[in-house]
Amino acid sequence: MEFNTIIEPFRIHSVAPLRMTTQEDREKYIQEAGYNLFSLHSDNVLIDLLTDSGTGAMSRNQWAAIQHGDESYAGSPSWIIFRDAVQNLFPFKHVIPTHQGRAAEKILFTALGGKGKCIPNNTHFDTTRANVEYSGAEAFDFVIAEGRDAANLHPFKGNMDLVALEKFILEKGVQNIPVVMMTITNNSGGGQPVSLENLHAVSDLCKKYGLPLFLDACRFAENAWFIREREAGQQDRDVVDIIREIAGLADGMTMSAKKDPLGNIGGWLAMNDDALAGICRNLLILTEGFPTYGGLAGRDLEALAVGLTEIVSHDYLKYRIQSTAYLGNALSEGGVPVVLPIGGHAVYIDARALLPHIPALQYPGQALAVELYKMGGIRGCEIGTVMFGRKPDGTEVPAAMELVRLAIPRRTYTQSHIDYVIEVCMAVKESASELRGYRIVQEPAALRHFTSTFEPI
Ligand SMILES: *Cc1c(COP(=O)(O)O)cnc(C)c1O
């Protein structure tokens, strides 16, 4: 018999307390934080859905592996274990460990970017775009049109628009495109997956023009699970098999090990090209560390090697994708507008649809995120005009969408925590018409969402 309850495929082994606060406390904390959720002390947050990056729980086997960490400067056995675990899934010739995904991006785009270069992606994640642009190159997004429509139910909304990509290649010229990137799942586009068929087609197109294809593979296991669930002919495959097929289509990858590899820190860069690997290793030594540890301690390498074996468990992935959908579908059925279908690691609430009376330049996403905190101690992340509204020339324009992302840390919260989140969201929905917008009191020159302060209008 199949039962409907989604049980967590683990039991609790070590606990961290949550501190209960009252609404009155929280109104004071958020005011003191200048109504910026990034400025809160996290022990004043009850359910922290700010990000799924490095915030998950490690398993007892990962904690045990930490005790095996060998901190030798060069040639540590922990490095060999880590490298083999990466190559087991992604058989690239060269693996270069870094302390985070963005460090891998910095090295790759220092090697490949620069003025006049153009780098296409389905959707660049914000650190990827920033590192491309910092090198002097330009970043371009070619996700399919369905991927930009919050309500469209396309099963692979992270897919690349192949016609647009080919047109771009012809327009810019192969000599100006050092690499084609593909982000799986598409984080900035709502955590939406890319199909195997689309990955094959992008790979074929890259081969046709002699361009290298690199994966930004932070959520590769969630993406592979969506392929197994949704793509014709994939239902009986092991996800490991699907992951290796995806790796075989690419020439390299950048990775944040704070996502699917179940680590609290870490990342890597991998590739087949010997010459490029040589350049990247030299940059690694300059900025991160010796090539057998990169930016990491031996114990981190050990924990990640174990994480890479746990993330491909079908029991885990089934729970992960179903439990995220449990939250998203409950909100949707309760009348809270969300991006559909529900992605892998987060639920995105459409604040523009929920708060139509708040104009974009009064930040409906910020208003909603603050209210979720005040009402229930839940911390989400505004992904809208606060994050994207200020242009480099100083003007302010509304973002394409006003979203609040509720990211789900891996193996961290139980179904009762999520039931509570649903209840709080419903209460916020009931009082939506009374919410007011915000104005910015102080803002920095760049990446303003992290440090701006606000006041209610
Ligand atoms: C998190 C993330 C990165 C950057 O990784 P960090 O470890 O945070 O530096 C890059 N790309 C995607 C798609 C991500 O989700």
Chain centre to alpha carbon of residue 47: 19
**Residue among 8, 17, 10, 20 nearest 420 (CA):** 20
Tell me what pLDDT residue 148 has: 87
Q: What is the 3-state secondary structure (H, E, C) of 219-251?
A: CHHHHHHHHHHHCCCCCCCCHHHHHHHHHHHCC
pLDDT mean over 75-95: 98
**Residue among 450, 446, 452, 451 nearest 129 (CA):** 446
Tell me what pLDDT residue 394 has: 81
Q: Which regions of the chain carry the CATH code 3.40.640.10?
A: 60-310
Tell me what pLDDT residue 319 has: 97
Q: What are the beta bridge partners of residue 140?
A: 120
Give dist(CA 255, CA 234) in Å, integer. 25
- Give yes or no for residue 51 having a pLDDT over 80: yes
**Residue among 127, 141, 410 to mutate when testing ligand 1 (max atoms within 8 A of CB):** 127
Q: Which two tokens stand for residue 426?
A: 């419903």
Q: Is 102 in the pocket of ligand 1 (CB under 6 A)?
A: yes
Confidence band (pLDDT; 50, 70, 90) for 174? very high
pLDDT mean over 142-152: 91
pTM: 0.95
CB 249 within 8 A of CB 213: yes
Q: Is 187 in the pocket of ligand 1 (CB under 6 A)?
A: yes
Q: Is 181 in the pocket of ligand 1 (CB under 6 A)?
A: no
Q: Which two tokens stand for residue 305?
A: 């090697």
Mean residue pLDDT of the chain comes to: 96
Model confidence over 306-365: pLDDT tens digits? 999 999 999 999 999 999 999 999 999 999 999 999 999 999 999 999 999 999 999 999
Q: Which two tokens stand for residue 427?
A: 């209460």
Token match 């905190």: residue?
Answer: 373
- Give yes or no for residue 119 having a pLDDT over 80: yes
Q: Is 271 helix (H, G, I), strand (E, B) or coil?
A: strand
CATH number 3.90.1150.10 is the correct assignment for the domain at 23-52+314-456: yes
Q: Which regions of the chain carry the CATH code 3.90.1150.10?
A: 23-52+314-456
- Give yes or no for residue 75 having a pLDDT over 80: yes
Question: HSE (CB half, 13 Å, CA atoms) of 188?
Answer: 20
Confidence band (pLDDT; 50, 70, 90) for 391? confident
Q: What is the DSSP letter of 20?
A: P
- 10 Å Cβ neighbour count for 67? 8
- Give yes or no for residue 151 having a pLDDT over 90: no
**Residue among 184, 185, 218 to mutate when testing ligand 1 (max atoms within 8 A of CB):** 218
CATH number 3.40.640.10 is the correct assignment for the domain at 60-310: yes
Q: What is the dihedral of CA 373, 379, 385, 389, to 10 degrees?
A: 130
Confidence band (pLDDT; 50, 70, 90) for 388? confident
Task: Characterize the bridge pairing of strands 453-456 and 346-350.
Answer: unpaired
Q: Is 135 in the pocket of ligand 1 (CB under 6 A)?
A: no
Model confidence over 217-276: pLDDT tens digits? 999 999 999 999 999 999 999 999 999 999 999 999 999 999 999 999 999 999 999 999
- Give yes or no for residue 392 having a pLDDT over 80: no
CA of residue 90 to ligand 1 center, whole Å: 18
pLDDT mean over 285-294: 96
Tell me what pLDDT residue 393 has: 79
Tell me what pLDDT residue 302 has: 98
**Residue among 216, 220, 253, 255 to mutate when testing ligand 1 (max atoms within 8 A of CB):** 216
Tell me what pLDDT residue 395 has: 87
**Sequence-distant contacts of 10-16: CB under 8 A, at least 24 apart:** 10/59, 10/411, 13/60
pLDDT mean over 190-203: 96
pLDDT mean over 134-139: 94
Distances (CA, A) of 393 to 28, 254, 397, 402, 446: 35, 31, 11, 21, 11
Tell me what pLDDT residue 287 has: 95
pLDDT mean over 393-409: 91
What percent of the chain shows pLDDT beyond 90? 91
